[in-house]
Structure 1
Amino acid sequence: MLHKLIFQLGERLRNPSIRKWLTFLKQSENWSINELEAYQLQQLKELVAFAKEHSDYYKEKFAAIDVASFSSLTDIEQLPLLSKQDVLQHTETIHTKHNFEKVFTATTSGSSGDPLVYQREESADSFNRASIFRGYSWHKVQPWERNGYFWGFDFSTVKRFKIKLLDALQNRFRVFDYKEKAFKKFVKKLQRARYIHGYSSMIYQSAKLINDKNLPKPKHIKMVKGTSEKIYDSYKEEIEKAFGVPIISEYGAAETGIIAFECTEGAMHINMEGVIVEEIDHQIVVTNLQMKTFPIIRYQLGDYIDLASKQKKCTCGKAHYILEEVTGRIGENVYGKKEIYPSLYFYYIFKNLATKHNIKLTYQIIQKEKGILIFNLEEHLTNTNEKKLRQEIHSYFANDITYTICPNVTKKAGKQKTKSFISYL
């Protein structure tokens, strides 16, 4: 099969250790909880020792920590918490001074609107991809099969061409537009697809279009995976009606890697080989056990969660602990004068500014009326930077949105997670 060969060739070039990790993960998914926790403790001790030796930040933070004395996972509580602000303020010193053979540059703006650029080694990147592929295997899906993708792309001609080429190599096609014409074209392509993934709100919109317009329903879909946004209960019936399978959830973040993946029985299993998850005051605290270039240890991700009791067992047979619910990642719609857009357009606007122009802005967008937005920015904007911001906004909303840019606005600190988009509609 040509697509399989192309996919695996690209995989070997980019992620040479991915097959090793996938083999390991397929074995460890059958481990007992004691075996999983023993592995976590071993990885934690290695990670903390490495960070303490090679990272200036952790050298200071862990000065009084004797990691050799750790005898159980509860010893992790000796380590200080790591906030998003810590990560942003100390990005350079958190990075470890070690010669990794191959690293990738990763970028995320985060849900609070604060951009982060950091390095991730090949092994950690491959582990993360292998974790996703293991989740796919639970649903009888191979990653090289034909798939529809609801995700973003850069609007420059060169970038768009590059994205289309990469999509073709991965047997993938995508849509990032709420307009009916684009959806209908996408739905037609879904007839040959085996799985769908991406923004849950957009998957829902496509399902609604199929059902409302009585369009031909795809007959070969094995998996519908929602990411990056909360999957509302109201989405589920519509999606299953359109695609014939329930929508499942993948939960993670760029800095932490995959945190949990939903099995065929509807349980969100924590990726215990990759992360340690703590719940403190209903807030998730994550330790990435595999990344050593940029150690993420006891990281306050900013999401509110509900962990299942450790005694809860899934009928699928996997012993991995279960995440009952993520309550902090809520996707909302942005209303233009004529069209509806996903709120994650803002993510791409500010990510593009950070990666293309090194303009890193802390933002919060407010919508009180349809077709009107307020962009509140903490930073002062030069005329040049404001012009580039306006260009990016226009790329995504064209003339369908009227907006005001307000620089030098300080976000109010509160008990709840700061949202990058607040809608009063």
Structure 2
Amino acid sequence: MNLFETTLRLKGFPIQEAKKRLAEIQKIPTTDYETYVMDSRQKVFDYHLRENPFYQSFIGNKTIKKWEDVPVLTKSDLQTPLKQRLSNGFSNKNSYTSKTSGSSGTPLFFAKDKFCHAMTWAVIINRFGWHGVDLDASLQARFYGIPLDFKGYQKERLKDKLSNRYRFPIFDLSEEKLEEFLSVFRRKKFDYINGHTSSIVLFAKYLQKKNLLLKSVCPTLKKCIVTSEMLYDTDKKLLEKQLGVPIVNEYGASELDLLAFTNAEDEFQVNNETLFIEILDKNNQTVKSGNPGRIVVTSLYNKAHPFIRYDIGDIGVLDETSTLKKPILKKLIGRSNDTAVLKGGKTVPGHTFYYVTKSIVEEDGNVKEFVVEQTALDAFTIVYVSEVVLSAKDLKKIEVALSKYIGADLNINYERLEVLDRNNRGKLKQFISKIDRRNEP
């Protein structure tokens, strides 16, 4: 067994058993797969209804005759101390516990039983293996944040060493720092890049400015796996051009598992082995494939904590070719709570502002990064990093485009910064609504 898997086992996570179980699931014929999914989701529901006092209280006296009667669980439902949400027999000592990044609001503390956490890693190992990446043997160039406190910093550095990865901290993405990143790529034989989308895109723009192909600088590089943030088609093309390797998109939720991952056919394949994923409308009814809806997830193997019909807060679209055995995520639209509320009650997905603005401000390569902030019902600030201040012509083009796609009578302000703030894990939130905070007494 390799070092990485040995470390998991020493921590009490039965990775070999999990890999064996995952292989068994993947061998289930298409004709029998519906039975596997229906049985698995019913078993985990019955388990928590029997063994979890929190979930018993959540269900209450509701009559559950079919799966669609099971109420949808939201993050707000889980805002109680973690120990009150654990199943009988589970505690912090015999479970894996952690918290989400909080990029969508309040961080969520959660738990997984040890087999469930091992299954999470079994899926990750499997998916990376689709692209020839061995977590133990392949050297990773890691574009992530890192805790700045001594204990957290040392813990992450140890994990880096055990996981065969070199970390590029992304809190400082100045050109001087990006040049240092580039010098490391000249020295080390990286097999793949893994990290936050926006920071790798910024590095690619730096390579574009220098007219460099990263594959030429680091010939051993084979793949780039981006995660944690939206991957737009234009960014994917830029990454492919400047890095010179295939781009793999990873979509996950730390409290759950990998939700979707680019497969060998360049499809965004949904994890249907350890999760049951539904796309629901506002009335919690399943939408037809090809239509957008809320992504609602059931964790099939977590006995320590219930994540049953759990609304993760994202909007997605399943491809029309999807089957229960091989579901494909056609489009990931973004967070459902990232919406702009305008005068008159009109609501617009926040990513619309970002996408429309992006199509203009990046035309000439001047703007490196930007975020859109809503400060009032009719007021937005575009905070950007660029070599030179946006021209009056650029500003006009942005306002015309926003008027066309969003509506007229918007007050658009601009703020140019040297660097954009990322959260403590290095994630960049591309649309931010400040209306609630501004209205607080």
Instruction: Please give the TM-score of this superposition, normalised by the length of structure 2.
Output: 0.70
Contact conserved, 1:21 with 1:130, CA < 8 A, in 2?
A: yes
Match of 2:107 in 1: 115
Q: Does 1:320 align with 2:287?
A: no
Contact conserved, 1:236 with 1:246, CA < 8 A, in 2?
A: no
Q: Secondary structure at the match of 1:16?
A: coil
Match of 2:139 in 1: 146
1:84-233 map, 5 Å: 84-89=75-80, 91-99=82-90, 102-144=94-136, 145-175=138-168, 176=170, 177-190=172-185, 191-215=188-212, 216-233=216-233
Residue 247 of structure 1, CA deviation: 1.5
**Equivalents in 2 of 1:178, 1:340: separation in Å?**
7
Q: Of 298, 302, 311, which aligns to 1:300? A: 311
CA displacement, residues 163-208 of structure 1 (integer Å, 9 cap, x when unaligned): 2232122211122131223222323333511111111111111122
AA aligned opposite 1:131: V
Residue 271 of structure 1, CA deviation: 1.0
Q: Of 380, 385, 409, which aligns to 2:440? A: 409
CA displacement, residues 127-170 of structure 1 (integer Å, 9 cap, x when unaligned): 11111111111111101210011111112344333322321222
User: Relative to 1, partners in 2 of residues 1:162 and 1:300: Cα closer, same or farther, differing over 3 Å?
Assistant: closer
Residue 27 of structure 1, CA deviation: 4.4
1:373-412 map, 5 Å: 409=440
Structure 1: 5+ residue runs without aligned partners? 70-74, 351-362, 368-373, 378-405, 411-425
Match of 1:45 in 2: 42
User: Relative to 1, partners in 2 of residues 1:188 and 1:171: Cα closer, same or farther, differing over 3 Å?
Assistant: farther
Match of 1:16 in 2: 13
Contact conserved, 1:200 with 1:227, CA < 8 A, in 2?
A: yes
CA displacement, residues 242-288 of structure 1 (integer Å, 9 cap, x when unaligned): 22223211112122221111102111111111111111121111111
Q: Secondary structure at the match of 2:334?
A: coil
Residue-pair matches, total: 347
Residue 33 of structure 1, CA deviation: 3.1
Instruction: Please give the TM-score of this superposition, normalised by the length of structure 1.
Output: 0.73
Match of 1:285 in 2: 296
Q: Secondary structure at the match of 2:311?
A: strand
User: Relative to 1, partners in 2 of residues 1:62 and 1:288: Cα closer, same or farther, differing over 3 Å?
Assistant: same
Q: Secondary structure at the match of 1:340?
A: coil
User: Relative to 1, partners in 2 of residues 1:15 and 1:192: Cα closer, same or farther, differing over 3 Å?
Assistant: farther
Q: Secondary structure at the match of 2:248?
A: strand
User: Relative to 1, partners in 2 of residues 1:218 and 1:38: Cα closer, same or farther, differing over 3 Å?
Assistant: farther
Contact conserved, 1:110 with 1:116, CA < 8 A, in 2?
A: yes
Contact conserved, 1:365 with 1:376, CA < 8 A, in 2?
A: no
Q: Secondary structure at the match of 2:259?
A: strand
Q: Percent identity at matched positions? A: 28
Q: Does 1:244 align with 2:236?
A: no
Contact conserved, 1:376 with 1:409, CA < 8 A, in 2?
A: yes
CA displacement, residues 61-87 of structure 1 (integer Å, 9 cap, x when unaligned): 4455788x8xxxxx3212011112111
Residue 39 of structure 1, CA deviation: 1.8
Match of 1:31 in 2: 28
Q: Does 1:340 align with 2:340?
A: no
AA aligned opposite 1:300: D
